[in-house]
Amino acid sequence: MGTLCKIGRREHMVALQKNGDVFMNTLNVFWGIEDGGLRGDNLDGVDHMANGMHAELRTPSGEIIPANVTSWALQTRTAEPEKNNLFCMYAIHRDPESDPIDLRVTEFGDAALIMTNPDEFINRLADAARKTNRSIKADLVTYVPANYIGDVGLFAKTEPFRYQSEWRFAMEDGPGNPMTLNIGDISDISTLINSDELEEFVNEYRSGKLDANPTA
């Protein structure tokens, strides 16, 4: 894959690096954020998507009545979104043929905390979750078209968010509110740069000029 980074306000990234406090917001919070589609996404984590061009209604007697619609879309959501806690990162792919970084990601903040050992970061976060008697899943987010029909879940989003190249940590048995997992100081497995330096970092990383993670 490559490595991972978290983009945000410098004071928050310094706190993450030095204190190791990983803040995991709940799914329903992302539904309600209105920021032009940066963090907010009212389709995030829906269970299923369906759409079509025609519809019909069935009466209790069994009569089928065509509905006067030209298109429709339907999404089903999880019943307890407040128990789904998320922590999102930017995935830096090593392959030189990968999509170039979209500079819109720098709108998340002025600093980028890059993991020099992403496997160890994942392990520490999983250990912290186990200490709370909970489990955490981690994976790349896949992106589906707006007219997608099928199951979605916590690790898929719609195409407009593809530029975020997201790696996601998800806890499906959370406490019912935002929570923080502490993994301790991670200065030994991370490096902090300005977010406006991220494009240069990614280009050099993919060209082999620097090695953020010798084991990746």
**Residue 120 falls inside a structural domain:** yes
**Residue 182 falls inside a structural domain:** yes
**Residue 72 falls inside a structural domain:** no
Answer whether 213's CB lies under 8 Å from 92's CB.
no
Provide, rounded to the nearest whole percent, the portion of the chain with pLDDT above 90.
Answer: 59
For residue 114, pLDDT beyond 80: yes
Q: Helical H runs in the chain?
A: 10-19, 27-32, 118-131, 198-207
Q: Which helix (H) or strand (E) holds 24?
A: strand 21-26
Within 10 A of 168 (CB to CB), how many other CB atoms are there? 20
**Residue 11 falls inside a structural domain:** yes
Q: Give residue 180's domain range.
A: 2-46+79-207
For range 103-122, the mean pLDDT: 96
**Residue 137 falls inside a structural domain:** yes
For range 43-59, the mean pLDDT: 80
pLDDT band at 6 (very low <50, low <70, confident <90, very high): very high
**Residue 135 falls inside a structural domain:** yes
Which of 15-19, 42-46, 127-131, 162-166 shows the lowest mean pLDDT across its residues? 42-46
Distance CA 91, CA 182 (A): 21
- Show the tokens assigned to 125: 């976060």
**Residue 67 falls inside a structural domain:** no
- 58-96 pLDDT per residue, tens: 888 888 887 777 777 777 888 888 999 999 999 999 988
Which of 11-25, 39-53, 153-167 shows the lowest mean pLDDT across its residues? 39-53
**Residue 7 falls inside a structural domain:** yes
For the chain, how many structural domains are there in total? Answer: 1
